[in-house]
Structure 1
């Protein structure tokens, strides 16, 4: 089994929380479903086929830069009468100056196809980070063998479920916590969420019972 890794970075990103509407909030980390959408876009996978194309795909996420959030106000054009007003105010939250290392496990054939597109930058659709105005810069890093981890406890750089963190061994580490969607249905509805922890640009001590080794990195795959 092998894993492909690449970087995705951008000046801005927005991964909207579905329970917010006109005052849109964003998740603090790019989640697996958004990453599958990004891969589907650069590969030119039809919307109707994306679920099947990514169904067996496993995703690991490493946050490489500190979390920075901005909130900006916009005047949006309503799709209904809106009491006769031509616009209405909306506050929207963004992530600023983001960079992720993304790991992908799938068949060798599919990984090689993704590698070809990343190396040649022959994207079918322009890649973006959650919203079409936030263009993503992608950089292929490599394809490496995936191995089991020998030890029970060790350092992890990637996003990992909260219950695997050993808090007493991370007293001096600034942990970031969020609850993100990790599984969706064909209709795009999120059906599973996970409380996750990550350290932007750093590592944390965690239980490694569900972690795999990719090169020198311990990676949890959703």
Structure 2
């Protein structure tokens, strides 16, 4: 299948976990829904059209930099009574020095529009990594054709149930539970426990993997 490949990087990123409130935690990586939002910003897709525009889009994500987290404390202004306090403290997590390779498969016309925008660096809205303060730098890489891969290794995020981990081997891997499906109002409907490594192919079983260029990709 036709696949567009580009990279997204930034000094900081934050993909907020919805179950946290004043102490905002972040997912360990950009997730498929955030990637769709990033693409929507580049193309200028309206908020009420985003779901329909991206619902058939297939996304693969390769994490290129090790995961580093920073936690910062903020003194926020209270918007409600807040027990008569003028402000309150909040601790917020950030990801530092992030870089992702994104694989996108969809209708040819949509991929062509995205390729044109990435090559010209002409975006309708400023793309960012989960938070408007964290501007994303995007670089187009290639337009490739992905074929079903007969091997059993993957270079991207992959659901944990499809991995084969050798406990005797010393692997630097990350495990998280990320959203993979949302409703029209952006509410997360489905999550997946995923595994990924940085420059470490993972062994898989019983899942469909695509060979895109020199990389093996699982698409959400």
Q: Deviations over 1:48-73 (max 9, x none)?
A: 00000001000000000000000000
Listed as ranges, the matches of 1:53-68 within 5 Å are 53-68=53-68
Range 81-90 or range 47-56, more displaced: 81-90
Listed as ranges, the matches of 1:137-176 within 5 Å are 137-151=137-151, 153=152, 155-168=153-166, 171-176=169-174
Q: Deviations over 1:129-159 (max 9, x none)?
A: 00000000000001100111123x2x31100
- Which of 191, 197, 200 is matched with 1:199 structurally? 197
- Which of 197, 206, 216 is matched with 1:218 structurally? 216
Question: 1:128 and 1:26 mapped to 2: Cα distance?
Answer: 15
1:162/1:55 CA distance change after superposition, 3 Å: same
Alpha-carbon RMSD across the aligned residues, in angstroms, is 1.2
Partner-residue secondary structure (3-state), 1:52: helix
Contact 1:169 1:205 in 2 (8 A): no
Q: CA deviation at 1:46?
A: 0.4
- Unaligned 5+ residue runs, structure 1? none
Partner-residue secondary structure (3-state), 1:167: coil
TM normalised by structure 1 equals: 0.96
Range 4-13 or range 76-85, more displaced: 76-85
Contact 1:170 1:204 in 2 (8 A): no
Q: CA deviation at 1:217?
A: 1.0
Q: Does 1:126 align with 2:101?
A: no
Q: CA deviation at 1:169?
A: 7.5
TM normalised by structure 2 equals: 0.97
Contact 2:148 2:208 in 1 (8 A): no
- Unaligned 5+ residue runs, structure 2? none
Length, aligned pairs only: 220
Partner-residue secondary structure (3-state), 1:38: helix
Q: Does 1:27 align with 2:18?
A: no
Question: 1:169 and 1:92 mapped to 2: Cα distance?
Answer: 33
- Which of 206, 209, 212 is matched with 2:207 structurally? 209
Q: CA deviation at 1:170?
A: 7.4
1:94/1:171 CA distance change after superposition, 3 Å: same
Question: 1:98 and 1:145 mapped to 2: Cα distance?
Answer: 26
